[in-house]
Amino acid sequence: MHKILLTVGLVSLFLLAGYSTGTRVAAATSSGTNHAALSAKDSPNIIVSPAQGPTVTKQLESRAKASWPWYITRAAGFVAAFSLVLLMLSGIGFITGASFRFLEPLTAWATHKAIAYVFGISSVIHVVALLFDKYVPFTIAQVLVPFLSHYRQVTIDGHNLGSLYVALGVFALYLVLAIILTSIIWIDKKPHTWKLFHFLAYLTMIFVFFHALYLGTDLTHGLFRILWIVFGVAVAVAIIYRLRRRSRA
């Protein structure tokens, strides 16, 4: 009898232990499933999608399309300024003989003439490109009539001089056109008149020097401003030497 009761007790304990273990496993499984479902529900879904708006490349292209007149104006101004310095020095070199130390007379004259065309063309491009600039808009009248523009007003000693440096650029443009046209038409037919008009080149250099010095984007400070001042001084010294040589003759 005791053996029977002992056997029944052991079997009961075994069944209870199995039931308890199965219940824990089922609970753990259910809890894990619920936790996974809860985590999937509560955790944010991370979705990688393309950024809204234009890309960097598109932005650069858009900026380049909008700013191309400014880049052309800037580049043409550089070419015009540098070619004018070469033009002045080579022209003075004809009188002093300095140009012939580097080039033969015919080559020196052809080079001087080519530089003059480069200067004239770059000056025209510099002006025309301003008409398409959306950031600093200029009208046709403003680029042709001095002091009509309101860009960068100049005040000296309490007196408003308007857009003085823009006006100097306009004056320089007309002087350049006069010099080029008279050189084409009168250099052989009326050499004396052509020579008188050619002296306007000195005034042109003065106008362009201050026009670029105070309006040039790249000449506001730094190396380019220093170089432009050095070029201006070099041309001024050459002009003084040229005039003194003429007065002694």
CA distance 185 to 189: 7
Q: What is the DSSP string of 116-142?
A: HHHHHHHHHHHHHHHTT-SSS---HHH
Segment-wise mean pLDDT, segments of 10 residues, the chain, 249 residues: 40 39 40 41 50 60 69 93 94 86 88 91 93 86 91 86 93 92 86 88 94 90 93 93 73
* Amino acid found at 237: V
The CA-based angle 225-230-236, given to 5 degrees, is 125
- pTM, two decimal places: 0.71
> What pLDDT score does 195 carry?
87
CA distance 119 to 77: 9
Q: Which helix (H) or strand (E) holds 229?
A: helix 223-248
> What pLDDT score does 41 carry?
45
> What pLDDT score does 10 carry?
39
What Cα–Cα distance (Å) separates residue 163 from each residue in 125, 202, 240? 21, 22, 29
Query: Sign of the CA dihedral 137, 139, 144, 148?
Result: negative
Q: Are strands 159-160 and 155-156 parallel, antiparallel or unpaired?
A: antiparallel
> What pLDDT score does 220 carry?
85
Q: What does the domain layout of the chain look like in residue ranges?
A: 1-44, 56-248
Token pair for 22: 């199965």
């040589």: which residue's tokens? 245
> What pLDDT score does 53 carry?
61
> What pLDDT score does 81 carry?
94
Evaluate whether 119 touches 144 at the Cβ level (below 8 Å): no
CA distance 94 to 191: 16
Q: Which residues, other chains included, contact 154 with Cβ-Cβ below 8 Å and sequence gap of 6+?
A: 160, 161, 162, 163, 164, 165
Query: How far does the chain reach from its first CA to its final CA, in angstroms?
Result: 154
Calculate the CA 31 to chain-centre distance.
Answer: 66
Strand partners, 160: 155
Token pair for 92: 């003075």
